Structure 1
Amino acid sequence: MNIVENDYISVVSGGKVTSRSTAIDEISIATKGLKANAINILGKKLEWESGMIARAIGTTTRTLERHIESKKPLSIKISENALELARLSTIGTDYFGSVKRWNEWLGTPHTQFENKEPREVMHTIRGRELIKRIILGLEYGFNA
């Protein structure tokens, strides 16, 4: 996981921060609010439908549409969720080797998620933490 091919943090922030930026830089960007059209770009890169990306960051497609139309930045909470999701997707696609395989894993029920798909818990902080912990466990030889 040392070389980052797909830096989704850069995608979702419009290039203002990257996976190598400091936490303070990310906080600054989240506080100002991300642009909703960047969320759509992230969704397209991840090959996710707009409803899935909206749910994963704790909002609705209609809210994203309104923010695109008004050119108003997203809230801090939604922006933070989007940055976390982008970081997780960078880790996931790096480990699994492709967006396709990352999405397949997200859509496969696992015992660690009580036989639910990992994507079903991505909208929560704890869910994203669990997904990350499992991927890191896989990387270092634990079973997921």
Structure 2
Amino acid sequence: MSYKKKQLSVQEVNEPMAAYLPIGSPVPFYQLLNGVKATSVATDFDILKLSRQGLPKKTLLSLAQKISFTLQELAGVMHISDRTLQRYEDAAIIKTEYAEKAIELARLYSRGQEVFGSMDKFKQWMRTPAHIYKGETPASLLDTSIGFDMIFKELGRIEHGIFA
């Protein structure tokens, strides 16, 4: 038996990237982080640098307010006691591992806003128990990176109309 390999044409290989981009402009995550300018997060390496530098406490508190998290919920996601978080001065730079979680929260919520079309709808979805998460709310999964990943994947399924 002889198999012929299909030769791909240049047109098939060089498809335009625009065909894969979502309709509408994405919501930049840095808008949820007060004080972070668009020019400072142009690439993934810029985001990495921002994470390593840390974020001021006031930026974290602003993020919590924008995504309707209490101080206790934010502290739980970042694996820090709420009392320890309260002790920081507002201008104090919060450590790398906490800044990284805050950046991930901002990225998640801006992605959710993009998929749901509004921040309020996404925040409501995050607080609603879901069968796919064994009756837990998506917000309750944010204490682990695996939980973040599960929510990002579900957002992709929702965006493409694949419901569990």
Do they fold alike, i.e. is TM over 0.5?
yes
* Residue of 50, 70, 86 corresponding to 2:106: 86
Secondary structure in 2 matching 1:68: coil
Q: CA deviation at 1:95?
A: 1.4
* Alignment: residue pair count: 142
Partners of 1:80 and 1:105 lie apart in 2 by: 23
Matched, 1:27 2:48: yes
Partner of 1:4: 26
Q: Is the 8 A contact 1:47 1:99 kept in 2?
A: no
Partners of 1:18 and 1:122 lie apart in 2 by: 28
Unaligned runs of 5+ in 2: 1-21
Partners of 1:68 and 1:95 lie apart in 2 by: 35
Matched, 1:100 2:120: yes
Partners of 1:48 and 1:36 lie apart in 2 by: 15
Q: Deviations over 1:79-111 (max 9, x none)?
A: 111101100000011211222211211111112
* Residue of 41, 65, 68 corresponding to 1:47: 68
Q: Which has the higher contact order (CA 8 A, sep 6+)?
A: 1
Matched, 1:124 2:144: yes
Give me the TM-score of the superposition, normalised by structure 2. 0.76
Larger Rg: 2
Partners of 2:129 and 2:32 lie apart in 1 by: 28
Q: Is the 8 A contact 2:34 2:59 kept in 1?
A: yes
Q: Is the 8 A contact 1:93 1:102 kept in 2?
A: yes
Give me the TM-score of the superposition, normalised by structure 1. 0.85
Q: Is the 8 A contact 1:107 1:117 kept in 2?
A: yes
Unaligned runs of 5+ in 1: none
Partner of 2:158: 138
**What is the CA RMSD across the aligned residues, in angstroms?**
2.2
Secondary structure in 2 matching 1:89: helix
The percentage of counterpart residues that share the same residue type is 25
**Alpha carbons of structure 1 residues 31 and 19: separation in structure 2 relative to 1, 3 Å:** closer
Aligned residue type for 2:47: E
4+ residue runs of structure 1 moved beyond 3 angstroms?
A: 16-20
